[in-house]
Amino acid sequence: MKYAFKLEWDDLPEELREEKIRQYITDGEKRQCEKCDGENIYCKACRGLGQVDPDPDNLYEQEEAEKDIRSHFPIYF
C-alpha cells in the first residue's frame, strides 16, 4: 500500500513556521552592514568590519527567509 501526501508551508502551525524562519536566519551567513554600506569606516553596528550577524527580529530578513524557504520547501525543512 502506498501513501502520498502533499506538505504545504501554509498548512504548518504558525509557531513552527516562525521557529523555522528564525533558525534559517540565525544559521545564515553574515550580511552587509546597512549603516555604512560595507565600507571600511568605523561603524558602531559592524565595528568597521562591513558585515553584521543576521538578525532574526528584522522584518525584512524574516520576509526574505520565508520567501527562500517557500521556494525550496520542504527541502529546507
User: What share of the chain has pLDDT > 70, as a percent?
Assistant: 86
Measured between alpha carbons, how far is 32 from 4 in angstroms, rounded to an integer?
Answer: 42
53 alpha-carbon distance from chain centroid: 11
Positions of E strands within the chain: 31-32, 51-52
Task: Tell me the average pLDDT across 10-22.
Answer: 91
Query: What pLDDT sits at residue 21?
Result: 93
Does the pLDDT value for residue 49 go beyond 70? yes
Query: What pLDDT sits at residue 40?
Result: 64
Strand-pairing partners, residue 51, are 32
The pTM of the full predicted model, rounded to 2 decimals, is 0.71
How confident is residue 61, by pLDDT bands cut at 50, 70 and 90?
A: very high
Query: What pLDDT sits at residue 48?
Result: 80
Surface-to-core class of residue 73, CB atoms within 10 Å of its CB (0-12 exposed, 13-18 middle, 19+ buried): middle
